Amino acid sequence: MMKGGLIAACAVLLAVIVYLFLDFTAGLKYKNAEPAGADAIVVLTGGVGRVEEGLSLLRKGKAGLLVLSGVHEDADHDSIFLNSLNKAEKLNILLEKRSGSTYENAVEVKRFMEERGFKSMVLITSVYHMKRAEYIFRKIMPPEIRIEPYRVSTPNFDEERWWHGRSLVLLIIEFLKYNWYEVGFGAGAF
């Protein structure tokens, strides 16, 4: 009798995890609208195409400042942009070098936003990373800060067939990290 109850409990737990995972994947097909504009464009570095998309939005006038969060300590404008920036663009791009995780990105960007009195941002990261990044940023930022998510497609993640190979592995890792932060914020650990 006890073995049957354990099997039933495991089946229910598995069903809950599958439901939560499928809910987690629901936003993957979301397509970006052109950002309305913000005080800053914040790019979480580490993924292909993110920095280029941030620069493109800056050049379109979607914000007056581009923040690259999580830049390697030895990097500079020329090494990141391969000497393709003019002097005015360099002045409008901030390289944040203190953070090494999404949580630290949010903490550093919050400090920067408060120092400058900024109230809005376009948050750029990869499609598979956005749900966790947006969740963390919304938990760290004061509620009056408007966060506009902007997802970037990357070659290491297939949005159309996310349930295959490397894409599924990336999503499982993001799902676990997302839930880790949900538990941590819920328990007051962060």
Backbone angles phi, psi at 58, to 5 degrees: -60, -45
* pLDDT tens figures, 105-138: 999 999 999 999 999 999 999 999 999 999 999 9
Q: Is the pTM of this model over 0.85?
A: yes
Contacts made by residues 94-98, CB under 8 angstroms, sequence distance 24+:
94/65, 94/66, 94/67, 94/68, 95/68, 95/71, 96/67, 96/68, 96/69, 96/70, 96/71, 97/71, 97/72, 97/73
Residue 38 DSSP symbol: -
Asked whether the predicted pLDDT for residue 181 surpasses 90, the reply is yes
The mean per-residue pLDDT over the stretch 26-52 comes to 88
* pLDDT tens figures, 50-66: 999 999 999 999 999 99
> For the domain with range 35-155, which CATH number is right: 3.20.20.70, 3.40.980.10, 3.40.50.620, 3.20.20.120?
3.40.50.620
Would you kindly state where each structural domain of the chain is located, as residue ranges?
35-155
DSSP lists the bridge partners of residue 41 as 66, 122
